[in-house]
Structure 1
Amino acid sequence: MSATSMTRDTCAPGRGTLTVLLLASTLGVMGGATIAPVIEVIRQALDVGGAAAGLVLTSHSLAIAVVSPMVGRATDRFGPRLPLAFGLAVYGLGGGAGMVVESYPALFVSRLVLGVGAAAVFTCSTAALLGLYRGELRDKVMGWRTAATTAGGFLYPLAAGALGNHSWHAPFAIYLIGLPLGAATLLALPHGASSNENGRKTQHRRGGAVRLLREHPLVLGLCGLWVATTGLMMVLAVSLPRRLDQLGIHDTFVVALYGSVIASGAATVVGLAYAKLTAHLGHATLMRIAAAAWTTALLVFAFADHPALLLLVPFLTGIGSGITMPTLTVLVDRAAPPEQRGTATSLQASALFGGQFASPLVFGPLIDTTSIATGALVAAAGTTLILIALFRLRDLPETPDTDNSAADPASAAEPI
């Protein structure tokens, strides 16, 4: 067997592998969005305040932020296959528990269990995709991943909105999809699959996340951007159902259309075109567009007094999310050494979901004591500062991939 054929046999995943990883990607960041359409119903049924209801959406994020670094180290050492399969099973069981719980404390605990599984799903699926694809094909796959994730943001909340009209417990059945997907992961991902390029074995570094951040400060800066953007934008995710309720929209199916479906549709379109957008505009320009879209969305949300105007909010946030998710994922990966890809990816998860968890703790009391509009304006001030900071940068790093052999599309996975 020639060296070329050996490389291709080793590194080229099949169509089934890519399909499973993209399906897993639909779950990793959808823990809260899936039940967002029924969050106001849950709040009223359990008789809790706005901040407590927000924690139902984001409590799993606390578990993700805490557990992700451990998942990342395990991924660097053993590969993503087994941690991903285990995480999908825990995701399904923890999320599905909401079908039978009747109290707020029990629901909160089940959301923490969901977060443990989601930490593995997000970290392992992302590390596997980054390790298996290089060059221009990586940008395409990252765009497909964004499209897959946002397609989940379209389908799952829509299904949850329809089920929520029958019972607030029913939407939690959607999480059970993690169980068969976990079994499929064991079958589709090859044994010993690595998070490093082409499955190469590299020396495992000691020191974990702290050493990575110390030796590669750009990773710290990019993770800080994750924290800021997700924390600020969660104001919309938590407050939009409440704002719609104030405007007389109580049907959870319609709330799903506003809260997730429109945003996911916009982000899906951006994800499918992401490779071309990156080639023509570059990462810095794309991030500026994202920050501008978010700022505009928050301003519209603060002042809109009619449901029709609020349609602009999810559209603009979807554009921002469709840009930011693949861009920051690729940039963090380029800023870290390949043998610490799992750790770097886990730090993204900690930053992303840590920002989500902190958001209702910061903005919940502010909104409860003032108004939803005030919270949105404060968040808009934050995204404006991010936009100004991005304009002060000449460009974000465009470090080329180091593994040129894997950049050849002929040696990469067959696209679906």
Structure 2
Amino acid sequence: MSNLFKDPRAWALLAAASLTIMSNATIAPALPGLQALFASQPQAELLTRLLVPAPSLVVALTAPFMGVLVDNVGRKKLLLIGTLLYALCGTAGLYLPDLYSILGSRLGLGLAVAAIMTAQSALIGDYFSAHMRGRFIGYQTGASHFGGLLFVTVAGLLAAHDPRAPFWIYGLAILLLPFFIKALPEFYHHRHDEKQPRNELEGKSNGYFIVAMMAVGVLITMLVYYVVPTQIPYHLVNRGFTHPEAAGWVLGTLMITGGISGVLYGAMRTHLGEIVTLSSGYLLVASGFAGLALTHSIGGLGVSAGLAGAGIGFVMPAFMATALHAASPGRRGVVAGVITSSLFAGQFLSPLVSQPLVSRWGYNVMFLILAGALIVTGIALSAALMLTRSRENDH
């Protein structure tokens, strides 16, 4: 850990990741104020609610194409362009005159996030060995939870004074640009000179299978996990906890335990192995979801959310780390783009899947169904990884 964090590249990549962390939820506390500010505009209620998921949809649609650009144009160049676009589009809500134009700027923000995430993930693959790569992505997961909690808290304080004020937070990207320019060297890969077969990843016949498996896994996992921040406030009201502080406490527990487990991911993977760490994470998340269904006290709900957060910190780093390990250097951008696209697609689709379940069976049954889906996903991914590793050892 000490050697990793003596490396300025590691700090720069964590800073780049922080930009993507705050891309969506930062303005969430400002939504009621923005709706009131533009109350005279037709469909203001709908438009304000679209401001948060809009970047996710764009990332899901464009990240694979950004990955191609990252591989062919250069990681650092795309990261710098994405960071500049991020600052321009992110802060546009400070001065744009209506919700339609603000929504357009949020779509531009999604393009920026797609460029930053794919370039940043590819650079992780370039700079670090397989062992350090997994450890670093774990730290990144931890930072995403702690950073998300910090950014939403600051945004809430700013929104209390002015609903447009949280858009200032996106200006942090401009301050980071000089650091990225200085700390991140470019890596150039001559794809036609690589020894790996042109139709394989990392020279392994199962390389594409591994990437596809990780893409499907992260989509399902994020689709299920994102139910917690989108449905928990309503579930708590249904349980009789109507004060906003209750939702804040439960979600805060989720973020804190997710941050801690993300930081511990590398050590867990070293001592227990990739498959045991992954399956243990899924078991924890599923236990948390079952607890959300079966527990009625606010303390029990907080503990359940904490279990879900702890589990996700052991699960999420595995997807990108495993996929990057399967990718040859010249294809890391494309692979990072595919995983990024799946992650954001899961976020965007989550309420579209969970809300019909709630409408038909209620919150308790919905959480139990999703707990079962997590168990099945964890078993399937663990079995597939065991089979893949066995075949690698045979060869």
Point out the more displaced range, 325-334 or 301-310.
301-310
TM-score of the two chains, using structure 2 as the length reference: 0.82
Per the TM alignment, residue 127 of structure 1 is displaced from its structure 2 partner at its CA by: 1.0
How far apart, in 1, do the equivalents of 2:376 and 2:47 lie? 29
Per the TM alignment, residue 351 of structure 1 is displaced from its structure 2 partner at its CA by: 0.6
Of the three residues 179, 195, 204, the one matched with 2:174 is: 179
Per the TM alignment, residue 233 of structure 1 is displaced from its structure 2 partner at its CA by: 1.3
CA distance change for structure 1 residues 126 and 215 in 2, over 3 Å: closer, same or farther? closer
Aligned to 1:108: 103
Contact map agreement 1:147 1:267 (CA 8 A) in 2:
yes
CA distance change for structure 1 residues 189 and 215 in 2, over 3 Å: closer, same or farther? closer
How far apart, in 2, do the equivalents of 1:368 and 1:170 lie? 35
How far apart, in 2, do the equivalents of 1:32 and 1:267 lie? 18
Cα deviation 1:313-354 (Å, max 9, x = unaligned): 442232223122221111111222221011000100111011
CA distance change for structure 1 residues 394 and 324 in 2, over 3 Å: closer, same or farther? closer
How far apart, in 2, do the equivalents of 1:170 and 1:133 lie? 38
SS at match of 2:192: coil
1:90 corresponds to which letter in structure 2? L
Matches within 5 A, 1:8-407: 15-37=7-29, 55-100=50-95, 105-190=100-185, 193-194=186-187, 200-203=189-192, 216-244=208-236, 247-250=241-244, 255-259=247-251, 261-367=252-358, 371-390=362-381, 392-393=383-384, 395=386, 397=388
Contact map agreement 2:130 2:325 (CA 8 A) in 1:
no
Contact map agreement 1:204 1:339 (CA 8 A) in 2:
no
How far apart, in 1, do the equivalents of 2:120 and 2:83 lie? 10
Contact map agreement 1:293 1:317 (CA 8 A) in 2:
yes
SS at match of 1:292: helix
SS at match of 1:151: helix
SS at match of 1:278: helix
Per the TM alignment, residue 37 of structure 1 is displaced from its structure 2 partner at its CA by: 4.9
Per the TM alignment, residue 372 of structure 1 is displaced from its structure 2 partner at its CA by: 3.8
Contact map agreement 1:37 1:255 (CA 8 A) in 2:
no
CA distance change for structure 1 residues 396 and 127 in 2, over 3 Å: closer, same or farther? farther
Per the TM alignment, residue 139 of structure 1 is displaced from its structure 2 partner at its CA by: 3.1
How far apart, in 1, do the equivalents of 2:271 and 2:288 lie? 25
Cα deviation 1:18-59 (Å, max 9, x = unaligned): 221111112224423334455677678878899977644322
Contact map agreement 2:207 2:327 (CA 8 A) in 1:
no
Per the TM alignment, residue 226 of structure 1 is displaced from its structure 2 partner at its CA by: 0.8
How far apart, in 2, do the equivalents of 1:360 and 1:52 lie? 16
Give unmatched runs, 5+ long, in structure 2.
391-395
Per the TM alignment, residue 276 of structure 1 is displaced from its structure 2 partner at its CA by: 1.8
Aligned to 1:9: none
How far apart, in 2, do the equivalents of 1:388 and 1:49 lie? 44
How far apart, in 1, do the equivalents of 2:283 and 2:117 lie? 27
Contact map agreement 1:96 1:172 (CA 8 A) in 2:
yes
How far apart, in 2, do the equivalents of 1:167 and 1:34 lie? 14
Point out the more displaced range, 49-58 or 360-369.
49-58
Contact map agreement 2:64 2:334 (CA 8 A) in 1:
yes
Contact map agreement 1:39 1:241 (CA 8 A) in 2:
no
Per the TM alignment, residue 306 of structure 1 is displaced from its structure 2 partner at its CA by: 3.9
Higher relative contact order (CA 8 A, sep 6+): 1
Give unmatched runs, 5+ long, in structure 1.
1-11, 400-416
Contact map agreement 1:265 1:318 (CA 8 A) in 2:
yes
Aligned to 2:393: none
Contact map agreement 1:244 1:250 (CA 8 A) in 2:
no
Cα deviation 1:258-306 (Å, max 9, x = unaligned): 32x4333223322332222111111111111221222222223334444
How far apart, in 2, do the equivalents of 1:244 and 1:164 lie? 24
Contact map agreement 2:282 2:315 (CA 8 A) in 1:
no
RMSD of Structure 2 on Structure 1 (CA): 3.5
Per the TM alignment, residue 119 of structure 1 is displaced from its structure 2 partner at its CA by: 0.6
Contact map agreement 1:157 1:256 (CA 8 A) in 2:
no
CA distance change for structure 1 residues 395 and 53 in 2, over 3 Å: closer, same or farther? farther
Aligned length: 376
CA distance change for structure 1 residues 283 and 339 in 2, over 3 Å: closer, same or farther? same
